[in-house]
Structure 1
């Protein structure tokens, strides 16, 4: 039998675009990928968050049961919606619950995004109740096997990424960079893919192509010069990659 858990605060977050990085009180870090949602409670709320892809579009709902109105409490009892059950079933006392978004929740989140600039606050209160109802139907089995990383590993991996994008015209050994940073190469690849959603090589190629597209649109550089700036020996190899 599950131990009863009574969270004062529950936070539900959905990531539509980008990635959502969360640091917790024990100095571990984890990620909410695109198309996923998370549920956190008082004892395991993120202490800080950031967006490693520098782009993010999502929505968060925070429920503080200490300030719920009597009308909202009565509505939740009638439906019923049990916040204690949500916290207990999803294991929120000890973890940050993350899952890919099932169709019924994806439809609901899509309605929220569409309504941002058009609907009154009352609409969002109704949708919040609807969202809580669906949370009440979740089971622990639905959650992902979430990976947590030490904050120092995250910082080291980000530092290596900064070095890579500032030396695009050079051939750089990831193995050597990881070794110099005292980070196992396999761990580096694992951490990098969780931060940025791609392997280092795939990420760098996309980064180079996006930068090339920007430079070409500005019409300030010749293709040959762009190729050299991005580490290609000639325009032909760059054109093939592009």
Structure 2
């Protein structure tokens, strides 16, 4: 697929933003005005804050790629979010770079997994159990979006949607290495021309999905809801009293499991070992304090359980890739893009 051809075709199909027509994400934001608040628009994208139940706001950067097709980069902290009204009729492609995402009906998405679902899946309540969920969502409306992609890529959109979502309305896939590399490349945005580059990547992804006869489904390894609830009880304990030390044996006992079973099931459910999760919680809290307060780094280290500032700085750098002082300076200057920077490492 030649870039020149895509550029020429795309110009004919991109809505003038001065028009009265609403984008896919506009509809969702209007239906849930008390949960989604636009905080910045720079011409190429609009940044929204997503109000979470009992935690800090999530950050969603939305690009309108074509008429009826939007791309949203999601950076969501641990917590729960819910829509007041349902989403419009559309096909959604969700990819999780890092973290966990769960719906009440048992659907869950983990590190490196790709989910495709249609309007039969209602995202009334969404849970994000890990310290930070990072991923993106491509929304394709059943009217304009489907028509645009069918014209640009010469594909049967309805047949593709049915194949990808199946009889249940949702399938979760494990992308092969080539597709995973393409998915990860969405974060390598050329700042000189971000919108065009993202359009090309989205078209390449949908073309690749359409050309792949059978995507590899994720292995079905669901845990029972009662087990998940017990593990979440342990997760809440691991994420609290961060200034104190906690023994995994005590957390396992509170979750009504033996130590080995708790470690195994916790890692299976949330994609991270129990004590690694607690370390991420500590580093996440430290990052908040670095930006929101003028406390010195030694005091922040103590508040998240580190008596030795050097060990704290090493743990922070291992998580965020930068020192605490650099992180504070960069965020204080307002120069950091929350979606593309500081993604915690496991």
Normalising by structure 2, we get a TM-score of 0.48
1:87 aligns to what? Answer: 162
Any idea what SS the aligned residue of 1:161 has?
A: helix
Any idea what SS the aligned residue of 1:173 has?
A: helix
Of 8, 11, 23, 2:92 maps to 11
2:119 aligns to what? Answer: 42
Aligned: 1:97 with 2:172: yes
In the TM superposition, what is the alpha-carbon distance from 1:175 to its structure 2 partner?
4.2
Deviations 1:199-241 (A, max 9, x none): 32443466668889999x71238x9xx6xx9599xx9xx99xx
CA distance in 1, matches of 2:223, 2:207: 32
1:73 aligns to what? Answer: 150
- Structure 2 unaligned segments of length 5 or more: list them: 1-88, 291-295, 316-346
| Contact 2:173–2:217 (8 Å) recurs in 1 | yes
- Alpha-carbon spacing, 1:163–1:151, altered in 2? closer, same or farther (3 Å): same
2:24 aligns to what? Answer: none
Any idea what SS the aligned residue of 1:85 has?
A: helix
In the TM superposition, what is the alpha-carbon distance from 1:19 to its structure 2 partner?
0.9
Aligned: 1:61 with 2:157: no
Of 189, 198, 209, 2:272 maps to 198
2:23 aligns to what? Answer: none
| Contact 1:98–1:146 (8 Å) recurs in 2 | no
1:32 aligns to what? Answer: 110
In the TM superposition, what is the alpha-carbon distance from 1:56 to its structure 2 partner?
3.1
1:157 aligns to what? Answer: 231
RMSD: 4.2
Deviations 1:143-191 (A, max 9, x none): 2113334555434322222224435435453442122xxx687764454
CA distance in 1, matches of 2:158, 2:200: 17
In the TM superposition, what is the alpha-carbon distance from 1:104 to its structure 2 partner?
4.1
CA distance in 2, matches of 1:47, 1:150: 21
1:3 aligns to what? Answer: none
2:209 aligns to what? Answer: 135
In the TM superposition, what is the alpha-carbon distance from 1:73 to its structure 2 partner?
3.1
| Contact 1:15–1:32 (8 Å) recurs in 2 | yes
CA distance in 2, matches of 1:44, 1:50: 15
1:52 aligns to what? Answer: 129
Any idea what SS the aligned residue of 1:148 has?
A: coil
Any idea what SS the aligned residue of 1:131 has?
A: helix
Of 173, 186, 198, 2:250 maps to 173
In the TM superposition, what is the alpha-carbon distance from 1:120 to its structure 2 partner?
5.6
Structure that is richer in helix per residue: 1
- Alpha-carbon spacing, 1:54–1:119, altered in 2? closer, same or farther (3 Å): farther
CA distance in 1, matches of 2:231, 2:196: 44
In the TM superposition, what is the alpha-carbon distance from 1:86 to its structure 2 partner?
4.7
| Contact 1:29–1:150 (8 Å) recurs in 2 | no
> How many matched pairs?
215
- Alpha-carbon spacing, 1:66–1:177, altered in 2? closer, same or farther (3 Å): same
CA distance in 2, matches of 1:122, 1:86: 24
In the TM superposition, what is the alpha-carbon distance from 1:21 to its structure 2 partner?
0.9
| Contact 2:90–2:140 (8 Å) recurs in 1 | yes
In the TM superposition, what is the alpha-carbon distance from 1:13 to its structure 2 partner?
1.7
CA distance in 2, matches of 1:188, 1:87: 38
In the TM superposition, what is the alpha-carbon distance from 1:100 to its structure 2 partner?
3.5
**Structure number with larger C-alpha Rg:** 1
Any idea what SS the aligned residue of 2:109 has?
A: strand
